Amino acid sequence: MVAWNAGQLRLAAGHDLTYHHGLELVFEDPAFVSCPSSFHDPTFRAASTDEILRVTRHLGGELPVVVAFEADAGGLEPVSCLIAAERLEIVQETVLRYWREDTAPGQRFAPWVRSPGQ
């Protein structure tokens, strides 16, 4: 997870998350999130009927986006995850996870990256 607040849940993906990531799943107005704060290697799938009913019962109605996946959260077995939101945006661009002075204008940085002196 790169960012999570009342209006947005942002998940990052990449081959090596140490220095940068190149893909973000941006869930706008997330209303239901059932997943650990840190996980790896998600395998996305269609939400089952039971999962959709779980979200509908919990929220009192349906949402346009319901995403289900299994992921490695460090345990012996994968964990099942479920997210429901108003919208989903898929963003493909490099987001640096460390400060660099020599970046091009408009280069995005992860939310926790600060320039020296900030």
The domain segmentation of the chain, as residue ranges, is: 3-109
Record the tokens describing residue 17, joined without a space: 């998350």
92 pLDDT higher than 90: no
Largest CA distance in the chain: 51
Please give the model's pTM, rounded to 2 decimal places. Answer: 0.80
For the four alpha carbons of 99, 109, 82 and 29, in that order, the dihedral sign comes to positive
Give me the chain's average pLDDT, please: 87
pLDDT at 105: 87
Q: What is the pLDDT of residues 11-65, one digit of tens each?
A: 888 776 666 767 888 999 999 999 998 888 899 999 999 999 999 999 999 899 9
